[in-house]
Structure 1
Amino acid sequence: MRPFSVSKSSVGSSSLLGYTIIFISLLVHKLDSAHFSVIGPDHPITASVGNEVTLACHLSPSMSAENMEVRWFRGQFSSVVHLYREGKDQYAEQMSEYRQRTEFLKEGLADGRVALRIGNIRLSDSGLYKCFFRSEFSYQEAALELHVSVSGTNPLISIEGYQDGGIRMVCRSGGWYPEPQSLWKDLKGQPLPSLPAKYFRDENGLFQTESVLIVTENSNQNLTCTIRNNILNQEEVSSVYIADSFFPKVSHVTVIRLSLNLLVLGFFIPLTIYCTWKQHKEKDKQRFQVEKEKVNVTLDPETAHPELLVSKDLKSVNCADITGEQPKDLDIVDSYCCVLGSERFNSGRHYWEVELKNKTMWHLGVCADSENRERYKNIAPEGGYWAIRLWNGEYKALSTPRTTITLEMKPTRVGIFLDYEAGELSFYNLCDDSHIYTFKYSFFGTLRPFFSPGIHGSKENAPLTICPVIDWQ
């Protein structure tokens, strides 16, 4: 019998097969471990204006994210809220409106748990956010919804005459976001039938509400008006009691007395409102006169649109004689023929004046300073612009949403006052010393004066001139 033997070729083939199996097993294990999903909250996150909020998400299965890229963004991938990459925070790509307001919480990175804290919450922060992870082999993301809300003022209840055989009661409140719920109740807390509530938005985008209830003598006389923010689960309540003497009687004497009372109230209430408005206007005027800090603003020709002509003294700008197709979207920077001021502001109070004369279109304000103007496309506070404009015979503040401005007199000279620390940018009509509009915003970074004497392709040829300091009286 021949002894059992194994050839060298057989041994070599077996070893190669074994190594191949081991390598494939390790590779499959590595690729399998590279696959993951991102888990976010299954419900919207709520936050109040001025407070802070934390947005959290995590990897499943649990694994380290220390060497991954973690990106928070809104809408487009390049709209970065916060970016963590190569083991540290990266701020070069961060949107300007989130600078110095975000903090990436890294305590749970080793387990794939991350959180982003956003401070000084604004209405514009409301919306959809994406939590994005990227490793060497895979990437995934999860969506989070942030609801920003504001609770407003205590309701003000007033008696405003008679209607449909009863007394017309009106409940008003302001400073809410989103639209609050308005409800009249009796002493036992039961809802009372009322007219549909009306809602209005003020210049800051907040809601004011007005609700009407008709109260008859045989109905409940103990009333409460409740304004409720359902997102924050908060409400403001005011109560009132209607005395019998306010209801109309058969006696003519009582009717006459009540009518006289209402006439007196009808006289003094508008008078009080007028006096309050007058005092507020005088206060604005005094504040404007006392607090203005004059600055000699000049134009920076390097920032001027190619269709603009800047004067040699850098004080005046005009549109060149170029005719083209006018833009369809006036909310995009490229639609404007604009130029920036040479001065840069990151603190303090600053005031300058601009001569408009008979111009039929213009834009005035400030904008965030950036070497990359592509990052500031949207003419709105969230896009880095705070400005007012005249176009097509209509004055508007370029807020979000846009605010239509009604003026008693056409301004031929406008005063612009920036109070950086107070977060206010105010515009004044110097023809009658009246207030035009005030932006209220928590400014950050450097701001520069912003001017536009027209739009691309316009035939506007009247100059826009920055007034010399010595001309101010």
Structure 2
Amino acid sequence: MNRLCIRSSLRTISVLVVHLLIHVCEGQSQLIGSVQPIVARVGDDIMFPCHLEPAMDVAAKTLEWTRPDLNNIFVHVWRSGQELVKTKHPLYTGRTSLFTDELKHGNMSLKLSGVKLSDKGTYKCFIPDLRTQSTVEVVVASDAAAPPVISFSGVDESSNGVVLHCESKGWYPEPEVLWLDGEGNVLSAGPTETVRGPDDLYIVSSRVTVNKRHGHRFTCRVQQNIINQTRETHIDVPDDFFKVQSRCSATTVGLAVSLVVCIMLILLLLLLLWKKKIISKTNQMNEVESKDQKDDNAETEFLTEDSQKETEQLEEEIRDTNNQLQEENQKEEGAEKELEEEIKDTNNQLQEENQKEEGAEKEVKTLKNSLESACFIQ
């Protein structure tokens, strides 16, 4: 009994081992793609590598190429020894193909013709029967990348440096911008500004401030390491240009200092003039006061001698003046009365004339009425 149990156990174990070996052998078949991204340029024809290891004939199997990053759209489908065109996404119509002669060796690499910017992304190689897959990353570069253009952007007064501006268009993927001095050392520059245009291409720009100590030759380098693409432009800044900037700054400082000194001198001069004017006014007031005191003393002496005579003369003059004023007032009153009488006479005459004119007007009206009535009767 024990021997029978041992034999049955060994048979069970052997069967399990055989199934395990078969499963392991089947599981060893796997698709191998590309670890590194596939770099392509617009318009190129490229191949997405994918092969089965260990190699086996896959010509009769279902093979699928899809885009996981675009909701798994079908790029190319092979089934029953032919391509299923109807399942292919319109973006790839007429642009994909397999190497049919290589399918028997397990090679299901895909060829893509006429690469576009929209072809960038992730592609999956898949065999449903074997439940194995592989992915390939595709990077599309643009040939439209233009050499950078360097221009003078201004002056940095704080550092007495010249500001250079660099711009380059038509990049994909997004590049980086570097500034180099004449010896190839990387300069510290501001952040790179990136703008993406309607054609999905990038426009990059950067600014850097350089001084005479950096040399005279500077390089703006725009590079994209993934696609191994570089564009650069050099510029030579003349030594006189830095001198002009330094002269301008020195002149500005000198003018500022001179202006401050002039203002201080003017204020000092005004203060001295003000003090001098105050002193002169004080002396004049003292002289006037002394003169007034002398005049007062002289007048008092003069008045003591002739005060009585002058007082009598003044009284007589005042009396004569009053008499003259009274006579003139009387004459004016008589003239006013005469004027009033003349005005009254004139008014009376005017009234009489008005009355005569009114009577004449009445007579004219009566005559006119009589004439009109006579004409009416006739």
TM range (shorter): 0.5 to 0.7
Match of 1:180 among 167, 175, 183: 175
In the alignment, structure 1 residue 198 sits paired with structure 2 residue 168: no
Between the aligned partners of 2:18 and 2:232, the Cα distance in structure 1 is 66
CA contact (8 A) 2:99 2:110 kept: yes
SS in 2 for 1:143: strand
SS in 2 for 1:188: coil
Q: Tell me which residue corresponds to 2:89.
A: 95
Between the aligned partners of 2:231 and 2:61, the Cα distance in structure 1 is 47
Letter matched to residue 229 of structure 1? Q
CA contact (8 A) 1:249 1:255 kept: no
Q: Tell me which residue corresponds to 1:37.
A: 30
In the alignment, structure 1 residue 149 sits paired with structure 2 residue 106: no
Q: Tell me which residue corresponds to 1:344.
A: none
Q: Tell me which residue corresponds to 1:64.
A: 57
In the alignment, structure 1 residue 105 sits paired with structure 2 residue 116: no
5+ residue gaps, structure 2? 1-15, 253-378
Q: Tell me which residue corresponds to 2:365.
A: none
In the alignment, structure 1 residue 161 sits paired with structure 2 residue 149: no
Letter matched to residue 102 of structure 2? G
Between the aligned partners of 2:209 and 2:60, the Cα distance in structure 1 is 66
CA contact (8 A) 1:38 1:142 kept: yes
* 1:216–1:140 Cα change, 3 Å: same
1:284-316 CA-partner distances (Å, limit 9, x unpaired): xxxxxxxxxxxxxxxxxxxxxxxxxxxxxxxxx
CA contact (8 A) 2:181 2:214 kept: no
Bigger share in strand: 1
SS in 2 for 1:182: strand
1:166-216 CA-partner distances (Å, limit 9, x unpaired): 111001001111210100112222211111111111111111110111122
In the alignment, structure 1 residue 133 sits paired with structure 2 residue 131: no
Match of 2:165 among 160, 165, 170: 170
1:210-245 CA-partner distances (Å, limit 9, x unpaired): 011112223221111110011111101111100022
1:402-457 CA-partner distances (Å, limit 9, x unpaired): xxxxxxxxxxxxxxxxxxxxxxxxxxxxxxxxxxxxxxxxxxxxxxxxxxxxxxxx
SS in 2 for 1:218: helix
Letter matched to residue 72 of structure 1? W
Letter matched to residue 73 of structure 1? T
CA contact (8 A) 1:217 1:244 kept: yes
Match of 1:209 among 204, 207, 224: 204
Letter matched to residue 122 of structure 1? K
1:99-157 CA-partner distances (Å, limit 9, x unpaired): 1111212232111012111122122211111101134xx33211221122225110101
* 1:78–1:207 Cα change, 3 Å: closer
In the alignment, structure 1 residue 229 sits paired with structure 2 residue 224: yes
Letter matched to residue 110 of structure 1? K
User: Which TM-score applies when normalising by structure 1?
Assistant: 0.45
Q: CA deviation at 1:254?
A: 11
Q: CA deviation at 1:34?
A: 5.1
Letter matched to residue 91 of structure 1? V
Q: Tell me which residue corresponds to 1:118.
A: 112
Between the aligned partners of 1:78 and 1:182, the Cα distance in structure 2 is 35
Alignment of 1:426-465 (within 5 A): none
Between the aligned partners of 1:228 and 1:147, the Cα distance in structure 2 is 15
CA contact (8 A) 2:177 2:192 kept: yes
Between the aligned partners of 1:37 and 1:251, the Cα distance in structure 2 is 73
Q: Tell me which residue corresponds to 1:275.
A: none
Between the aligned partners of 2:182 and 2:102, the Cα distance in structure 1 is 51
Between the aligned partners of 1:185 and 1:126, the Cα distance in structure 2 is 32
Alignment of 1:307-346 (within 5 A): none
Between the aligned partners of 1:34 and 1:54, the Cα distance in structure 2 is 27
CA contact (8 A) 1:48 1:149 kept: yes
Bigger share in helix: 2
1:294-346 CA-partner distances (Å, limit 9, x unpaired): xxxxxxxxxxxxxxxxxxxxxxxxxxxxxxxxxxxxxxxxxxxxxxxxxxxxx
Q: Tell me which residue corresponds to 2:41.
A: 48
* 1:249–1:71 Cα change, 3 Å: closer
Q: CA deviation at 1:253?
A: 12
| Bigger radius of gyration | 2
Alignment of 1:368-379 (within 5 A): none
Letter matched to residue 165 of structure 2? V
5+ residue gaps, structure 1? 1-23, 257-473
* 1:255–1:81 Cα change, 3 Å: farther
